Amino acid sequence: MNKAKKFAILSVKTVLILILCSFLLFACKKEEVSPDALDSDTSYAFGMLSASQMSEMGFVGVSFDYKAFMEGFKAFNEATETRLTPVEAWEKITVIVQKIQSQSNEEMWLLGEKNREEGEQYLKLNGERSNVSTTSSGLQYEVIVPGSGAKPGPGDVVRVHYEGTLIDGTIFDSSYRRGEPVEFGLDQVILGWTEGLQLMKEGSTYRFAIPSNLAYGPNGGASGIIPPNATLLFKVELISIVK
């Protein structure tokens, strides 16, 4: 997910605070450090850092009036009179923040609709396979290794190995790759896991196809790694019930 899409989850108030902090970071009082004390490369480096921070906040591909940008920066930095009041400045910034946020939200919605349609088609075809079962919630599972131990309950903590992928095969998480199983309570995970693991016996390995409404839904998850309305596939090995 690109930086502009990440920006959609930030509130306007949060972004304004971050922008203010960014400016304050570079604002050295004239009496403490003269602007002439910084050489060309160092000044250039501060410009790069400022642009990098704004890019991280979602200002990607925004073209500035650089002359006016530097005039405002210089006036604020040297504590001279600015042609905009702080209130007027934040009003200007708020307009562009809201515009970028609106564009990001639209992009997220379109991506979510695409993922939802592709996920529904995948689940339809997957559900037609003879070795795949579908529960009333829409969760699909396939038994790879049946196991012979006890089944966990909704309040239990389990120890598992797993690997999660998108329907295009992209691996987004894997305890196998980390070389260490994980432990968690069944009431601490997505609905598809809570339901699916209660179908399993200790020692079993299942493959789950989890609809987006039983996963992370329209907001996606894992800090942007899982896109909106994504259908998720998991290979899960239930090692033991911890308690």
Show which residues are catalytic: 162, 172-173, 190, 216, 234
- 């009431």: which residue's tokens? 187
Q: Which residues pair with 18 in a beta bridge?
A: none
- 162's enclosing H/E stretch is strand 157-166
State how far the Cα of 208 lies from the Cα of 134, in Å rounded to an integer: 10
Q: Which residues pair with 173 in a beta bridge?
A: 164
Q: Which residues pair with 234 in a beta bridge?
A: 164, 208
The answer to whether the CB of 207 falls within 8 A of the CB of 163 is no
Taking each helix axis from N to C terminus, what angle separates 66-77 and 12-26, rounded to the nearest 10 degrees?
Answer: 70
State how far the Cα of 198 lies from the Cα of 68, in Å rounded to an integer: 62
